[in-house]
Amino acid sequence: MAGSSQLVKELREKTGAGILDCQKALTENGNDVEKAIDYLRQKGLAAAAKKAGRETNQGLIHSYIHMGGKIGVLIEVNCETDFVARNEEFKAFVNDLALQVAAAKPSFVKREDVPAEVAEKEKTIYEGQAKELGKPAAAWPKIVEGKMEKFYQENCLLEQSFIKDPAVTVKDLLAQKISKIGENMNVRRFTRYQLGEA
């Protein structure tokens, strides 16, 4: 299993395709990465990676208000052209992301946005928990690593499971939209407001 998850990771890095698409591509092609890349390209799922470096100066700032004005979200999602920014599918995608922020309460867009001091504080807490549970010191790094992955999945928008389809992460959904719409897209920032919360 470790080998196949490594292959999925490699394929994702090379193509930008989603986890499930990469798993299917590898299964269909006997775990041959090169054949799997061709398979994904034929399906149009590998296009996202090629678009990743392109400028995203257009897009939308979208607002979403939920629960009778008790939760509000402002989100900025960028794309390459004004044409796509006015596209109904792009607008629906941005609205889905605003719903995600309202429901799942992420604090950051991606793991790279987590300040080093926040990550260090979490690691210290997790190491303390492992110690309290009487786990051997040799196991602490692995425990901390696992808990940090969970922290990123809960607190980073792109790493969260998509609320409308939990089998897909928001990052995978973004890659699918890039492939389908044909432009690079980027979630730039968001702010979530909840009545009474500082």
Q: What is the pTM of this model?
A: 0.70
pLDDT tens for 2-43 read: 457 888 888 877 776 777 888 888 998 998 888 887 887 776
Spatial contact of 157 and 101, defined as CB atoms under 8 Å apart: yes
Q: Could you tell me where the DSSP H helices lie in 44-197?
A: 47-51, 82-85, 88-104, 116-132, 140-155, 170-181
Domains contained in the chain, CATH given: 2-51 (1.10.8.10), 58-110+156-194 (3.30.479.20), 115-154 (1.10.286)
List of the chain residues with pLDDT < 50: 1-2
